[in-house]
Amino acid sequence: MKSTIAALTATIALTLPAYAAGDAENGEKEFRKCKSCHMIESADETIVKGGRTGPNLYGVAGRTAGSQEDFKYSDLMTAAGEKGLEWNEEDFIGYVQEPTDWLKEYTGEDGRAKMTYKVRKEEDAADLWAYLSSLGADS
């Protein structure tokens, strides 16, 4: 019995980081800083009416970088997509904290990202990811 409890406790402890990734509620609040450039719109509804300087972030989780229709991406972002970048939590967090540097490292190319805003805290970036990934077609 003790070994069963110990095994169960170990299993729970190992799975906790997967659930502690981000706070979608806080991410929704953090997105207020992003909406001057980005909107969140599905085919059926406007979730957050925002700017059009940046691409629509609805369904960004799992999307190939630089692939949102009707948006002109930087050469670096287009190159990242061509190299196979599909947005996941780790890459999103790195990108939003240092857009140009992160894309240069990912692609191995020189240039500039269009996004100049930087999310200062990793926790805020994780919260943004939790929020955005809750709003996609697969959510």
pLDDT tens digits along 29-81: 999 999 999 999 999 999 999 999 999 999 999 999 999 988 999 999 999 99
What average pLDDT does the chain have?
A: 88
Residue 13 has pLDDT above 80, yes or no: no
Has residue 14 been placed in a domain? no
Average pLDDT over residues 8-19: 40
Has residue 3 been placed in a domain? no
Pull the structure tokens for residue 29. Answer: 């609040």
How many distinct structural domains can be found in the chain? 1
Q: Residue 40: give the domain boundaries.
A: 23-133
Grade residue 1 by pLDDT with cuts at 50, 70 and 90: low
Q: Which residues are 64's β-sheet partners?
A: 86
CA-atom Rg of the chain in angstroms: 17
Grade residue 21 by pLDDT with cuts at 50, 70 and 90: confident
Has residue 12 been placed in a domain? no
Higher per-residue confidence, 1 vs 97: 97
> What CATH number did the domain enclosing 108 receive?
1.10.760.10
Has residue 39 been placed in a domain? yes
Pull the structure tokens for residue 8. Answer: 């169960």
Has residue 120 been placed in a domain? yes
- Structure confidence at residue 123 (pLDDT): 97
Cβ proximity of 55 and 79 under 8 Å: no
Has residue 79 been placed in a domain? yes
Number of CB atoms found within 10 A of residue 139's CB: 10
Q: What is the dihedral of CA 50, 77, 61, 83, to 10 degrees?
A: 170
Which bin fits 56, alpha (ψ -120 to 50), beta or left (φ > 0)? Answer: beta
- Structure confidence at residue 137 (pLDDT): 61
Residue 46: what are its φ and ψ, rounded to 5°?
A: -95, 115
- Structure confidence at residue 78 (pLDDT): 97
- Structure confidence at residue 51 (pLDDT): 95
Cβ proximity of 126 and 93 under 8 Å: yes
Has residue 61 been placed in a domain? yes
- Structure confidence at residue 57 (pLDDT): 97
Q: Percentages helix, strand, coil for the chain, rounded to the nearest 5?
A: 45, 5, 45
Has residue 5 been placed in a domain? no
This prediction's pTM: 0.82
